[in-house]
A = this chain, B = another copy of it.
Amino acid sequence: MQAIEEMLREKRIKVTPQRMAVYAVLRETRRHPNVEMIYQKLKPSYPAMSLATVYKTVDVLNKVGLIQELNVGEGGLRYDAMIKPHPHVYCQKCGKVDDVEQFSMDIFHDDSLFKQVQNETGYDLSAVQLYFYGRCPECRE
């Protein structure tokens, strides 16, 4: 795993403590946090950091391709440092977002689906998202 500082530098964006911190949070977790969660996580160690900076930072990191945005339909966006396309499951009771790992290959890595959809729709495709909705094991009772 590459050093965070180096990864930012390769993307030709200024390396600041705030950017390293936000990216570090996303790399350490599998929880797909939203902006508020990232902000709360960083508050203890970076008391001066503002929420606006977190918004701007995730936007930059997403634009340079270091992270991806998820939209499970809550309103706000979630962020994921795992940029390889993979499906997600959303628990409609507790709001948790989990990865679905097993099927990344079948659906996304075989590009026949992508190609077929391009042919059918005429779109020039660049990304795909697959979301499942339901109740997580803890919320099923």
Interface size class, chain A: 35 or more
- Asked whether A100 and B117 contact (CB < 8 A) given A73-B69, A131-B129, the answer is yes
Return chain B residues, CB-CB under 8 Å to A101: 120
Provide the bound-state CA to CA distance between A135 and B113, in Å: 17
Provide the bound-state CA to CA distance between A136 and B130, in Å: 20
Count of identical protomers in the assembly: 2
Chain A residues in contact with chain B, CB under 8 A?
69, 71-73, 77, 87, 89, 91-92, 98, 100-103, 113-114, 116-118, 120-137, 140
A-B pairs with beta carbons under 8 Å apart, 26 shown = A73-B77, A89-B125, A91-B123, A92-B126, A98-B123, A100-B117, A100-B120, A100-B121, A102-B116, A102-B117, A102-B120, A103-B120, A117-B132, A121-B132, A123-B132, A123-B134, A123-B136, A123-B137, A124-B135, A124-B140, A125-B133, A127-B132, A128-B132, A129-B129, A129-B131, A130-B131
